[in-house]
Structure 1
Amino acid sequence: MKDELDAKTLIDQLGTQARAAATELSVASAERKDAALIGAAEAILARRAEILTANGEDMAYGASKGLSPAMMDRLMLDEARLSAIADSLRAVAGQTDPVGDVIAAWDMPSGLHIERVRTPLGVIGVIYESRPNVTADAGALCLKSGNAVILRGGSESYHSSRAIHACLVEGLRGAGLSEDAIQLVPTRDRSAVTEMLRATAYIDVIVPRGGKGLVGLVQREARVPVFAHLEGICHVYLDAEADPAMAVEIALNAKTRRTGICGSMECLLLDRAFYARHGAAVIEALVAAGVEMRVEGELSEIVGTVPATPEDFGREFLDMICAARLVDGLEGAIAHIQTYGSQHTDAIVTEDAAVARQFFARLDSAILMHNASTQFADGGEFGMGAEIGIATGKMHARGPVGAEQLTSFKYQVTGKGTLRA
């Protein structure tokens, strides 16, 4: 009971501070926000030795907890990843400030001039596991969009997140903005998560980043609105008219570039006509790359594959494992994806533009791709600088959630002593 009371007191305090900071940020100039982001990027590079030391502590902690290789990869920082974090902060700073943007404007016969204008959401809560770069990405995007943020990183990334957060605070301080604009929950105690989910007086939206367990918990228990995706069950469909060489390269990249991200291919669908024409080259290439291919039917005759179980379809492996099956054309692929997909990211490989248009029109995934790897399901690759997550719901934000998606809008109405008859 004492821990719950302490967690509530902590979140109440952070929430009160965030509300005050959000009021300040809502009218902060684009120049000051961008200066804070650039200052944070410089601090990341200046403090990289300190951050890498902190990350070493987290890696040791993760190993002691028996984290999977995919989770350890998400947790790990090195010089290249720190440079990428700094570049992402600069990229967000370089974007157009969405706050105050006039989305639409029109005049009415009554004499009113009406504008629909972007406005910050207010206070955003971000709950995430393992990936310390989320600390920078979420902090940057919330700041850019004029929102205060309360970050609750996973216990595995505790030290790394604190070190990166210190750089964000340095940037805020240097730009003369409130340090409470980006706050990090200073405890591993899980009761703080529970209190964040209940904090309707302070938090306007929750964004979970993590595995099915975390996201499911948030979606079940949150009283605050949620932007989230439960799983990234991404499919690549090789149509009858797919270029065979392209099919091999896209399948390899979609599965093996990074297996632990939500845009990794988890199921390969092959049109029977494609398989009849081009054989097993795609699956053989995946097997040769070290992927455990779980297949059924005729595909089980391919050397190096293993039999699939019904549970392998509709499963997020986040590992060097992939399910595969033959389907009867576009209809079969769509039926499979509608049954087993998670409305995250699905791709078609084909030279038939009409078939690609049908794939786009008839599926309702947040991201649909034609002749491109599902690994591009990322806000940075969409030109957003970074993302706070991928949203698969249909209310407000969908797909990569960048700074623009972290705004709402208001109507500004101007008259000239206009009276309603």
Structure 2
Amino acid sequence: MTTTAGQLTQLTAGTLVPFGGDRFTTVDAALAAAFQPGDRLYVVHDDGALLHVPAAVSDAVTTSVSAAVEAAQAMRSVPAAQVAAFYRAFADGLVAAWDAIAQANAEDVTRAEALGRSTTRLRIDADVRDQMADGLRGWADLVEKAASDDAPAPRVTHADWHVDVVTAPLGVIGFVFEGRPNVLADAAGVLATGNTAVLRIGGDALGTATAIVEHALAPALRGAGLPDGAISLVTSRERSAGWALFSDRRLSLAVVRGSGAAVAQLAAVARQAGTPVSAHGTGGAWLVADESADTARFASVVRHSLDRKVCNTLNVAAIPRSRAAELVPVLLAAADEAAAARGTVARVHVVAGSEQWLPAGELERTIDVHRAEGVVAEPRASVLASDELGREWEWENTPELSVVVVEDVAEAVALFNAYSPRFVASLVGTDAAAWDAFLGAVDAPFVGDGFTRWVDGQYALDQPELGLSNWEHGRLLGRAGVLTGADLTTRRLVARTATDQHR
């Protein structure tokens, strides 16, 4: 078979592009007009999406990855004391430069609000600053502790030779994450295990992230004598920067977190490049009430699981039919308490067939719901199809959740395993046998017996996280479902022989 290969310099509208082995998509007029010599085009073989990367974006990403590759080689000989010094300097720099960083964040928030975007995860304050600094100082302590650990490596011994199993860095980590500026500090954890990183943050948070790099991260790298490319930020708001980064075959691992659709697409790009990917997408916690649930504790769990919208926020509550008349009103009242702290009333979606347990008038009642685009009038409660239970509610100041009434815990678990992203599951009850059955049956990496917001790497494990794995997208490199810088290692086998030998 004869094939012809060449450089793609232009696109023609109407051109068929094959994908997935037996399907095709078509180049449209807008893509054909936009494509210029030096640009790149990728086709996602999952769905045929055509991804256009302008040459300037591709060149910027390539430059950052090249610097990270060079830095990864240099990091092999960097003493642990320098890495620890970097973390402490980064933490100190955050505190010292916080006024400039906070100003950049205020500008990002203003811009996002003008565009009708969500700012829930974009806003940072002094509490976030302190959490970031504490996490960085924690990494410094862990690096020093690991360096002082004189425990021998696992060894397999033979008659006149032995093999040691030792850890080694993965290399360059590509990390694309949503517009949460504090994740920049979490991502710095890759240096703890000798890796380097190229980061791309959501465009809404780019100003804040750039300020963090300029005023705290970059000076800390220089002050500790670490290579310039050890951690770099791609300063582009173009979504194509993420595609370009994950298409670079020099990455050792691609980490992506954010919304479900965007995460799935970026994960597909990385897989097509042959790069292992750790994807952290759709979130939302499920809370199940057992028949033995204490009413007051159930209310407290609901209230504390709705304090703010993040991936581990309560998203679905399942209540047994035998307690529905009592617990559904308790659930709504507790959700309203959480909402009242934000000056709102909770928004509820009730699975069809469960609406009979709502207090009278809730389906007809209208409330003000705070959305990214502004305040809108919506029903207090509306009916939801059961196959929509996997939907994550991305709310601003109005807590929002789904409610389903079930026969028992077993039915709740079946719904969770069928429709949820298989992320966080919690059971409230006093029956030990019910808890054991729940733990054994529910397909989730994070299982608890109370409030759901404990699912956080820094809060639960004292380590800033790169992501929290849901089992919908797999558990690659995520020990216990949490991926941190400490997880980013591989194994080397080192043989020492006493005599030459032949097998």
Q: Same fold (TM over 0.5)?
A: yes
How far does residue 189 in structure 1 lie from its aligned partner after superposition?
Answer: 2.7
Q: CA deviation at 1:66?
A: 0.4
* Shift of residue 104, structure 1, vs aligned partner: 6.0
User: Match for 1:188: what amino acid?
Assistant: R
Q: Secondary structure at the match of 2:402?
A: strand
Q: CA deviation at 1:63?
A: 0.8
Within the candidate set 137, 140, 145, 2:193 is matched to: 145
- The answer to whether the Cα contact below 8 Å between 2:67 and 2:228 also exists between their aligned partners in 1 is no
What amino acid is the match of 1:238? A
SS of the residue 1:74 aligns to = coil
SS of the counterpart of 1:53? helix
User: How many angstroms does 1:162 deviate by?
Assistant: 0.6
Q: Look up the match of 1:250.
A: 301
Quickly say closer, same or farther: Cα 1:240–1:414, change in 2 above 3 A: farther
> Are 2:208 and 1:127 equivalent residues in the alignment?
no
1:117 shift after superposition:
1.9
Other-structure match for 1:416: 498
Task: Check if 1:336 corresponds to 2:415.
Answer: yes
Name the counterpart of 2:259.
211
- 1:385, distance to aligned residue in structure 2 (A): 2.4
**Aligned residues: CA RMSD:** 2.2
In structure 2, how many angstroms separate the alpha carbons of the residues matched to 1:341 and 1:27? 45
Other-structure match for 1:91: 138
Q: Which has the higher helix share?
A: 1
Q: Distance in 2 between matches of 1:246 and 1:32?
A: 48
Whether 2:9 is the aligned partner of 1:9: answer no
Partner of 1:374: 452
Distance 1:301 1:357 in 2: 28
* Superposed CA offset, 1:60-111 (max 9, x none): 110111013xxx0211122222222212211222225668987962434444
Gaps of 5+ in 1: none
Post-superposition shift, 1:372? 2.7
Distance 1:323 1:221, change over 3 A: same
Write out per-residue CA displacement over residues 221-245 of structure 1, whole angstroms, 9 at most, x where no aligned residue.
2222211123013211111122222
Q: Which TM-score applies when normalising by structure 1?
A: 0.91
2:201 maps to amino acid: G
1:396 pairs with 477, 483, 497, which one? 477
**Identical pairs, percent:** 26
| Aligned pair partner of 1:386 in 445, 451, 464 | 464
| Cα shift at 1:299 | 4.6
Q: What aligned pairs does 1:70-109 form with structure 2 within 5 A after superposition?
A: 72-96=119-143, 105-109=154-158
- Output the amino acid matched with 2:491: F
Q: Number of paired residues?
A: 413
- In 1: Cα distance, 2:322 partner to 2:495 partner: 59
Aligned partner of 1:302 in structure 2 is 358
Aligned partners of 1:99 and 1:118 also within 8 Å: no
1:349-368 paired onto structure 2 within 5 Å: 349-368=428-447
Letter matched to residue 186 of structure 1: T
Q: Which amino acid aligns with 2:495?
A: V
Higher RCO (C-alpha under 8 Å, 6+ residues apart):
1
CA distance in 2, matches of 1:98, 1:344: 31
Q: Which runs of 5+ in 2 are unaligned?
A: 1-35, 40-53, 340-344, 363-379
User: Does residue 230 of structure 2 align to residue 181 of structure 1?
Assistant: yes
Which of residues 397, 400, 403 is equivalent to 1:324?
Answer: 403
Once the two structures are TM-superposed, the CA of residue 27 in structure 1 deviates from its matched residue by 3.3
Greater CA drift, 274-283 or 405-414 = 274-283
What amino acid maps onto 1:9 in structure 2?
D
Distance of 1:400 and 1:325 partners within structure 2? 28
Q: Which amino acid aligns with 1:184?
A: L
Q: Which residue of 1 aligns with 2:29?
A: none
1:301 and 1:332 map into 2 onto residues whose CA distance is: 18
Deviation digits for residues 275-328 of structure 1 (CA, Å, limit 9, x no counterpart)? 367563223322454221222435544234623221641110022211111112
Larger of the two Rg values belongs to structure? 2
